[in-house]
Chain A
């Protein structure tokens, strides 16, 4: 019994990083309508900068979080306005650009990871931070993972309240539903979709910095994070902040239980099995699209 509770608690905490990872992408994909395939590469960029700041200047990742989040916000805002808005201009409408925006994001991912490869090469980055065991309901979890969970919950809660409870949120949801019709209701699509995309960029950088604290990574690994995030986004329902949170936590718990009670070799199989099941049975993710 205690070991079941232990597996549950550690699974929830370890799922926090999946939730955080997916939250940024779900906002960019579901709300700003851009499937940002360069998500993992931007995440790696944040992770690399956090590592270098820590190793060269002994700057705590928590401090670099304060530097990198606004930087990532600005960069994503720029990318949105300089790249994706240009595409929309050329295509004439948001619906028409959706397919080509995926290709564009794909290209962007090569640009970002290629530039980083040229500068940093393929070497491994790794350091430890906040590796403090914390007692939680009788289980021990590392503080850095717990922080990821807390951030995921905070960002997720903020996104949910913003989208569902505020006037701006209503406008943003209108964009998500019909970007070409929203201007008819007086909504500045470029402005609000751009801000949402950049908010997704903040979460992306936050996940990057947190991941750098406990995971060994190198530049070419960006795509694996994009894929992980995409799996969680689709399970949780595209554009659904709460769905991404819950799906991320479910993945963490599944991995934990399978590794503990069945076999660690089957964790990947279990995760993707769950994914296939979710896609087959729930066409719009765990909560459907209603919550947004």
Chain B
């Protein structure tokens, strides 16, 4: 008997303490996620044919009083696994925000009525197999009208054949690669809104050349890169361009994914006194490198890290020390509509968007919406053609794709006074570079 009482007491304490801990720290984590429930108003005709159904009389003047229809938009995204961090910052919140914005504004106007957006989502667990299964399920069982892409180059490439085979356009955002121009030849519905890797590498070399020509820095560059497809592709293009423009690479080494100790690397680099430090890094490395740099007091005139520099968590972590750090992305706060987007993003999703892929992701959804409205019906082939050829007004300005790729992004930015301002391309820069970078404050 005594044993049972003790167990009961232990159990009670356990449940109470765990729930108290969770309640204390889990507050304010609103997840506005419409659960993937098969709605009774299912399947609003896979291909709404020009011969409208009874409800949709072609009388555009009384649109507002018509019963609304649902546009089913499905996606598989990494909510767990290694890709969850990137997907959770750059992609997923934008899907939620976009659906809300569209529905708040009344919906999407097609020729046979106004459609509200319903999101249907699955977790692909950062596994390509799961993503493919989820997409097949979305199309075959949930009968979605449109699909949205996953996060990450590898993931986008994995699902691309399925999108293509099922005839859905894939407006990829986080699918940066130099192979895209080749790939779109076999998959005409495959798009990339962030551009190509070499675009960014060349921008780095061009920016450094520009600074060197102004006499602000010398010609010695230290380059490190994460040892995977992304880091290799990015550093390869950068290396070529550096050599072509007369830069001397005083250090050029890869490091394994998941490295947390950068002190030996930076100690070595510091002795070689580079004018610019360029790291083709992933978010976790990007957030660790400045720490090691502060410890060994390595403060080159240009300190440039790749993915993650534009994340809100970066300035949250480093505060004043973020000042002068350069990275991929950047924004112009004066661009019309952009700051409004930042405000709404924070209000609706409860988190700040990043200063690179986030606005581009939202813009890609605006493109999709406008293309759909121009076509006037859920004709996916026609929508893909319109996305490829049309020009669209978005929060990042006018978007016009060339060969299914958008090349007009801000490529490089620098943290200045708590904002990640675009530096390159020079003709649409929001600020002039602060070089040399201010010293680390301790």
Which A residues lie at the B interface, using CB under 8 A?
3, 6-7, 10-11, 14, 48-49, 52-53, 55, 71, 74-75, 78, 81-82, 114-115, 117, 119-128, 131-133, 140-142, 214-221, 224, 252, 255-256, 259-260, 263-265, 267-268
Contact = CB atoms under 8 A, between A and B. Distances in A.
Interface in B1-27: 7, 10-11, 13-14, 17-18, 21-22, 25-26
Contacts of B21: 49, 71
Interface in B66-111: 78-85, 87-89
**Interface SS, A side:** helix
Contact of B82 (A10, A48, A220): A220
B317 A132 contact: no
B260 interface: yes
B442 A132 contact: yes
B21 to A, nearest CB: 7
Given A128-B318, A133-B297, A140-B296, A259 B265 contact: yes
A127 B317 contact: yes
Interface of B: 7, 10-11, 13-14, 17-18, 21-22, 25-26, 29, 31, 78-85, 87-89, 126, 224, 227, 253-256, 258-261, 263-265, 267-268, 283-284, 287-288, 291, 294-297, 311, 313, 316-318, 351, 442
7 contacts: A14-B263, A82-B11, A120-B26, A122-B88, A124-B85, A128-B291, A220-B80
Contacts of A131: 291, 294-295
Contact of B14 (A3, A82, A127): A82
A31 B87 CA distance: 41
A90 to B, nearest CB: 14
B261 A6 contact: no
A216 B14 CA distance: 29
A122 B330 CA distance: 24
Given A128-B318, A131-B295, A265-B227, A119 B22 contact: yes
A133 B298 CA distance: 12
Contact of A260 (B267, B294, B317, B351): B267
Given A119-B25, A122-B87, 13 more contacts: A6-B267, A10-B264, A14-B261, A49-B21, A75-B14, A82-B14, A117-B80, A133-B442, A141-B263, A216-B284, A220-B126, A264-B264, A265-B227
B80 A216 contact: no
Contacts of B84: 117, 121-123, 218-220
A265 B288 contact: no
Contacts of B284: 124, 215-217
B10 A265 contact: no
B254 A264 contact: yes
Given A140-B296, A264-B253, A117 B79 contact: yes
A253 B283 CA distance: 25
Nearest to A143: B295
Given A133-B442, A140-B297, A256-B261, A123 B89 contact: yes
A52 B22 CA distance: 12
B259 A121 contact: no
Contact of B260 (A6, A127, A215, A256): A215
B265 A122 contact: no
A133 B294 contact: yes
Contact of B256 (A142, A219, A265): A265
B88 A215 contact: no
A267 B79 contact: no
Contacts of A265: 227, 253-256
Nearest to B261: A14
Given A14-B261, A124-B311, A133-B295, A218 B13 contact: no
